[in-house]
Amino acid sequence: MTYRDDTGSDESISGVFEFADGVSATISLSQAAGVPYDHLEITGDRGRIRSDWMSGQIDIESSGAHEFRLPTVEFVRSDPLQPMYDAELAEFAAAVRLGRPPSVDGHDAIRTLRVLDALRASAERGAPVEVDDAVHSTTGRGVENELARIRIQLTYPANRIQEPVLYELARRFHLKFNVRRADIDAGIGWVQLMLEGERSEIEAAIEWVEAQGIRADPVEGDVVSG
C-alpha cells in the first residue's frame, strides 16, 4: 500500500485473497496510473477473461469452451456509463415495486468495507489477515432463503395470451402456486396467483416472467413471510 504525499490518503494497493476451497485472487487498485483505466481480469487453469468497462471490450480465451479456444474479442456496449446506471435504477425500482430487497444492498457495502479494512491491516502488519467471518455470511441480509407467500397479478399483452407461462413457472421454479382469479378482455389477459416458496425463488420467478414481456404486480394486503 502506498499513500499520497499531499493528503495522506490511499494511492495504490495490491492484495492476494486465498479462499477456503483453494481458489486465490489478486486485486490491484491505483490512482497513480497516469491514465484512466478500469478493468477486471480473471485467470484460471483453463483460460482467462478480461473486461474493460470503459470500452465495453471483453477478451476471452478458454480451453474448456470450444468457441473460445482461440483468443476472442467481443464488445458488449458502446456507452460505458448509461447502461450501468439504467440497470441499477431498474433493479432499485423493481425492488420497491415488488416489495423485496434489492440485489445489492447496504450489507454488501459493509462486507466490501471489511475486505478493504483487511487489506489495509495486512499492509500495515506485513502479514496475512483473516477477513471477518461476517464477510462470508449472508445472515446480515436474512431474507434470501426465508419462506414467503406473495400474491401477484400477471398481465399478458395480446401476443402473449397463448403462451404456457404457468406451465413454465411450475417446470422452472420450486414453488407452489394457486390461481385465484383470471380473465381475458379486449385482447389483454390477467391472472392472480398466490406464490409460495423461498423468497429468492419467488424473486427469480417474477424476474423470469417480466423477461417474457409479462407485467407482474403485487396484490396489496396478501403478503405473508416468516
Per-residue pLDDT of the chain (226 residues; tens, 9 = 90+): 777 777 777 778 888 888 877 878 888 777 776 666 677 888 888 899 998 877 778 899 998 888 888 989 988 766 656 766 787 888 888 888 877 778 787 778 888 888 888 887 888 777 888 875 334 433 344 444 567 888 889 998 888 788 888 888 888 888 888 888 888 776 788 888 888 888 888 888 888 888 888 888 888 654 333 3
Residue pair 172/208 in contact by the 8 Å Cβ criterion: yes
Residue type, 78: S
How far is residue 181's CA from residue 225's CA, in Å, rounded to a whole number? 22
49 — phi, psi (to 5°)? -140, 135
Task: List the grid coordinates of 67.
Answer: 468457441
Buried b (16+ CB within 10 A) or exposed e, 23-34: eeeeeeeeeeee
DSSP string, 172-190: HS--EEEEEEEEEETTEEE
pTM as predicted: 0.44
Residue 107: what are its φ and ψ, rounded to 5°? -65, -35
Q: What is the pLDDT of residues 145-186, one digit of tens each?
A: 567 888 889 998 888 788 888 888 888 888 888 888 888 776
| Helices and strands, number each (H, E), in the chain | 4, 11
39 three-state secondary structure: strand
Grid coordinates standing for 77? 456496449
How many other CB atoms are there within 10 angstroms of residue 57's CB atom? Answer: 15
The DSSP output letter for 188 is E
User: Tell me, what DSSP letter sits at residue 191?
Assistant: E
CB 63 within 8 A of CB 47: yes
Residue 3 φ/ψ, nearest 5 degrees: -125, 155
Phi-psi region of 47 (alpha: psi -120 to 50; beta: other; left: phi over 0): left
pLDDT at 134: 35
Domains of the chain from N-terminus onward: 147-225 (3.30.70.260)
Task: Give residue 36's pLDDT.
Answer: 65
Cα distances from 138 to residues 49, 190, 213, in angstroms, run 28, 36, 32
